[in-house]
Amino acid sequence: MVANLRLPFDVDDGKDAGVFVSAIRQHGKTKLAQLLADLYIDDDCLVRVFDTSQAWNSSNIPTKVTLRQPHKIVYPSDQSIIFDISRLYLQQQRFTIQTILGTDFQTRVESPNPKLEQWIIYFFEEAQIILPNGSLRANYAQEAFRTISVGANYNLGYMLITQRPADVSTKAISRCGILYLGKHFESNDITKLKKFLGWRKYNDTHERLSSLKKREFYHFDGNKATKFRAPTYRQYRQPTEFNRPSRIRGFWGNIWYHIKDF
């Protein structure tokens, strides 16, 4: 269960600082993000996932909104949600994310006391699409930049997930206070990450990152980097007769999950 989970993560730091997760394909980024999403939800945050490849179908978030047309976005704003944007083209995905972020932000700005509102944490899968290099001034990235720069004042947090840090805006990564870095070996990626980690030598960075195995990450909090292995994560649904009232908000219904240390 979540309580036994050994992960270098502090929910309060995550909310304030913003989180960046990167590794090459199939090295456990999404699973790690799902573990962290559970911790946020456990802490009474709302989670909003922009899922580009239906990878979150197996997560514990019960509400999924499948978007087929970018201008028809209807969702229950008081719930954690997976937005399945896999059917949309790239421009439509950007437009959709922009609309959702803009709406939420506007609601918070109008709130009499935004710091008392429930935290919303956005999970950006394929961050290189939403915040690519040089996108600081691009129209499609305005809302995302606003969220990652001033969102914390309105209780809006985020997590950026990518396979290619070299393609993600440096201005966006540099705003993240917590980094989870998995395996990388490509020189542009290493060069970029080296700067953030404060590891001066390219060779050291290359050696440390390229030797990581699946599920292994460096956790970097701006001060020191600690290597860890994400616990295995398995989600399953129990038959209804085994339902228990969930300790994590009412709508968790018949979804159970199980987390085990490696």
Ligand X SMILES: Nc1ncnc2c1ncn2[C@@H]1O[C@H](COP(=O)(O)OP(=O)(O)OP(=O)(O)O)[C@@H](O)[C@H]1O
Note the residues at the interface with Mg ion (CB under 5 A): 29-30, 55
Within the chain, residue ranges assigned H as helices are 11-17, 29-42, 90-110, 127-130, 142-150, 170-173, 187-197, 202-210
End-to-end CA gap in the chain: 14
Contacted entry of Mg ion, ligand X, none for residue 31, CB cut-off 5 to 8 Å set by kind = ligand X
Torsional sign, CA 254, 87, 28, 175? negative
- Of 55 and 97, the one with the shorter C-beta distance to Mg ion is 55
Cα–Cα distance, 259 to 158 (Å, whole number)? 23
Q: Which stretch in 23-31, 66-74, 189-197, 250-258 sits in contact with ligand X by CB under 6 A?
A: 23-31
Residue 122 sits at φ, ψ, to 5 deg, of -95, 135
Of residues 125 through 144, those in contact with ligand X by CB under 6 A are none
Among 3, 4, 12, 25, binds ligand X (CB under 6 A): 25
Q: Closest distance between Mg ion and the C-beta of residue 45, in Å?
A: 21
- Of 155 and 162, the one with the shorter C-beta distance to Mg ion is 162
Neighbours of 95 (CB within 10 A): 16
Among 5, 7, 23, 81, binds ligand X (CB under 6 A): 23
For position 183 contacting ligand X by CB under 6 A, the verdict is no
Provide the 3-class DSSP secondary structure of residue 260. strand
- Of 25 and 72, the one with the shorter C-beta distance to Mg ion is 25
Of residues 155 through 174, those in contact with ligand X by CB under 6 A are 163
Q: Closest distance between ligand X and the C-beta of residue 248, in Å?
A: 19
**In the block, which residue shows the tokens 């395996």?**
183
For position 215 contacting ligand X by CB under 6 A, the verdict is yes
Torsional sign, CA 188, 151, 67, 41? positive
- Of 55 and 168, the one with the shorter C-beta distance to Mg ion is 55
Which residues, in sequence order, are CB contacts of 1 under 8 Å at separation 6+? 258, 259
Cα–Cα distance, 225 to 199 (Å, whole number)? 10
Cα–Cα distance, 109 to 104 (Å, whole number)? 9
Among 15, 31, 48, 175, binds ligand X (CB under 6 A): 31
Among the listed residues 224, 225, 196, the one whose alpha carbon sits nearest the alpha carbon of residue 208: 225
Of residues 221 through 240, those in contact with ligand X by CB under 6 A are 230, 232-233
Neighbours of 164 (CB within 10 A): 17
Among 11, 45, 55, 88, binds ligand X (CB under 6 A): 55
Q: Closest distance between Mg ion and the C-beta of residue 172, in Å?
A: 18
Cα–Cα distance, 120 to 138 (Å, whole number)? 24
- Of 152 and 178, the one with the shorter C-beta distance to ligand X is 178
- Of 121 and 152, the one with the shorter C-beta distance to ligand X is 121
Q: Closest distance between ligand X and the C-beta of residue 35, in Å?
A: 7
Cβ-proximal residue to Mg ion, closest one: 30
